Amino acid sequence: MENTAKQADAAPKTATILIAAPDQTRRQFNLVFADSNYFILEANSDADALRLAKTARPDLILLAYQPPHFDALNLCAALHRAPVHQHIPVVLLIENEDELLINRALESGASDYISYPIRANILRQRVRFLLRMRAMQADLQEKEARYRIISTSISDYAYAFRVEPGGQFLREWYTSAFEKITGYTDAELGEGGWNKVIHPDDMPIAEARSVKLLRGEKDVSEFRIRTKSGEVRWLCDTGQPIWDDEQGRVTWIYGAAEDITDRKRSEEVMRRQTAQLQARNEELDAFAHTVAHNLKNSVASMMMPASVALKYYDKMDDAQRHELLAGIVDSGYRARAIIEAILLLAGVNRQNTVEIGPMDMHEVILSVQNRLHTMITEAQAKVIMPDDMPSAVGYVPWVEEVWANYLSNALKYGGTPPLVRFMGEVQPDGMVRYGITDNGSGIAEEDQTVLFTPFTRLSQAKIEGHGLGLSVVQRIVQKLGGQVGVESQVGKGSTFWFTLPARMAGG
């Protein structure tokens, strides 16, 4: 039987992934995860996959849909039915975006799908997301199990209310956990004091459950309370009414309230992380599309004149050869600019912490002007800088990139010759607003709305940008705690601005 379970190396493995697919596809997946620390199991048939799922208990399963050898839908359904591995996330690899097949896969218990061609970055992101979700679900299930065990022995807060003929609730008794949860004693709340701790926004829930209980129906409701200290906590309250046939009404209500604050917080963290991962996946798709499109254009711009030169070199004069070579060099510079922007953006995304500190913004701008000296000279631009430029806190290499992008755009899209004005002003909210104003033709209002959309390129007739610059600017400034924006009127130039904190947090 050609089934291989790769041996773990010396480094500890964080997760086990089972791959059930043909040989070529398994090799592709192995290349994708070659530099990861996952423990990889391989199966070359449905039977192997089912056996390994039962014995090895992998953390995630990748299944190829290639019947008859890999009937992933039936295998997924079989995995989903078995309690021992029904909670293992399963990702199906399919040939195309067939909606019917995708729906059948999800109905069979698949957690997600990947379609050909395999995109390594997207696949790694989704695998990390599903493994993180599984870990969080396991953590949440463990907490819920712990709460269930506790609640079977002693409830967080148990109570009994006598119900008067008029429908009033009179508390007969409750456990001491009430004071522990709410911080209030019985004397501090008085009769009917339970309603005093319910969060005002959740009073409709309390009123609806009272109506339901008085009808003789059991109620389980989740709502928030405000404790004596002002903290907001979540309770799951189960109320059980006792019906008196002789009186034809509910006479007693017994119940217990469980503190589920930790569970709610975990659910909120999970929701936020799910949204963040989904946004990142969408951004990666857009990023790949933008990079491929722009690099393709730059390469094509080099190939065409190179092909002409190769074919007709002996028939051209020096001026014609020089023109072709200049075009190739120009396209090469554009391609290099794209690659540099990609590397910078990757660095910004990868670095979670950088050395943030006070910056002499006048020195930062002078450095950028020196860097773009040739461009300024060739454009015969006039650059105006105020005598006093306020300082701010940030990371100098990143802020230089922001200024360089804004200044180069002002030189490209400004008037003839360009007139560029730097500005800096301390705002009342403790931020410093910097910017560059040009004397260009301005930007239409509808185009302004998409300028800073990630990887969206504003089409300019004069110069075709590579579409990554403003995305890099936005990411950098957001990482440093600021915002970006543009103010422009057609025919009256543009002002591109960004904000940074004036001082260190707590300073």
- For 166-177, how does the pLDDT look when each residue is reduced to its tens digit (9 = 90+)? 888 888 877 777
Pick from 249, 286, 89, 55: nearest CA to 166: 249
Pick from 234, 264, 224, 237: nearest CA to 140: 264
* pLDDT recorded at residue 338: 61
Same domain, 120 and 249: no
Pick from 501, 505, 498: nearest CA to 359: 501
Q: Of all helices (H) and strands (E), which one includes residue 301?
A: helix 261-312
Is the model's pLDDT at 289 over the cut of 80? no
The three-state DSSP-derived secondary structure of 322-368 is HHHHHHHHHHHHHHHHHHHHHHHHHHHHHCCCCCCEEECHHHHHHHH
pLDDT grade for 287, boundaries at 50, 70 and 90? low
Least confident of 332-341, 360-369, 408-417: 332-341
CB-based contact 438:420 (threshold 8 Å)? yes
* pLDDT recorded at residue 345: 59
Least confident of 32-41, 268-277, 279-288: 279-288
Same domain, 391 and 497: yes
Least confident of 57-66, 359-368, 412-421, 428-437: 57-66
* pLDDT recorded at residue 96: 76
Tell me which residue range forms the domain holding 343: 270-350
pTM beyond 0.85: the answer is no
Query: At 220, is the secondary structure helix, strand, or coil?
Result: strand
Q: Which residues pair with 494 in a beta bridge?
A: 488
Mean pLDDT of 292-304: 69
Is the model's pLDDT at 365 over the cut of 90? yes
Residue 416: Cβ within 10 Å count: 10
| φ, ψ (nearest 5 deg) of residue 157 | -155, 115
Number of domains present in the structure of the chain: 4
CB-based contact 62:54 (threshold 8 Å)? no
- For 129-156, how does the pLDDT look when each residue is reduced to its tens digit (9 = 90+)? 888 888 888 777 777 666 555 544 454 7
Same domain, 414 and 487: yes
- Domain C-terminal end among 119, 149, 179: 149
pLDDT grade for 93, boundaries at 50, 70 and 90? confident
Query: Would you list the DSSP string of 307-320?
Result: HHHHHHGGGS-HHH
Separation CA 95–CA 152 (nearest Å) = 50
User: What's the distance, Cα to Cα, between the start and end of the chain in Å?
Assistant: 67
**Cα separations in angstroms, 77 against 58, 316, 480:** 17, 69, 47
At 36, list the tokens. 């990861």
Average pLDDT, the chain: 80
Give me the amino acid identity at 485. Answer: G
Same domain, 29 and 132: yes
Same domain, 407 and 443: yes
Same domain, 128 and 113: yes
Separation CA 37–CA 44 (nearest Å) = 22
**What is the distance, to the nearest Å, from the Cα of residue 164 to the centroid of all Cα atoms in its chain?**
53
Give 57's DSSP letter.
-
- The number of residues making up the chain comes to 507
At 379, list the tokens. 């454009």
* pLDDT recorded at residue 495: 94
CB-based contact 440:413 (threshold 8 Å)? yes
Same domain, 234 and 158: yes
Same domain, 392 and 276: no
- Is residue 296 one of the residues assigned to a domain? yes
- Is residue 100 one of the residues assigned to a domain? yes
Same domain, 236 and 206: yes
Residue 487: Cβ within 10 Å count: 15
Same domain, 365 and 507: yes
Q: Report the CATH number at residue 191.
A: 3.30.450.20
Query: What pairing do the DSSP bridges indicate for beta strands 382-384 and 431-437?
Result: unpaired
What is the b/e burial string over 276-306, where b = at least 16 CB atoms within 10 angstroms of the residue's CB?
ebeeeeebeeebeebbeebbeebeebbeebe
Q: Report the CATH number at residue 329.
A: 1.10.287.130
- Is residue 3 one of the residues assigned to a domain? no
* pLDDT recorded at residue 205: 93
| Residues in CB range of 277: below 8 A, 6 or more apart | 125, 129, 132
At 125, list the tokens. 């992101």
Separation CA 101–CA 104 (nearest Å) = 5
Q: Which residues pair with 381 in a beta bridge?
A: none
Residue 469: Cβ within 10 Å count: 22
In the chain, what percentage of residues exceed pLDDT 70? 81
Same domain, 346 and 357: no
- Is residue 7 one of the residues assigned to a domain? no
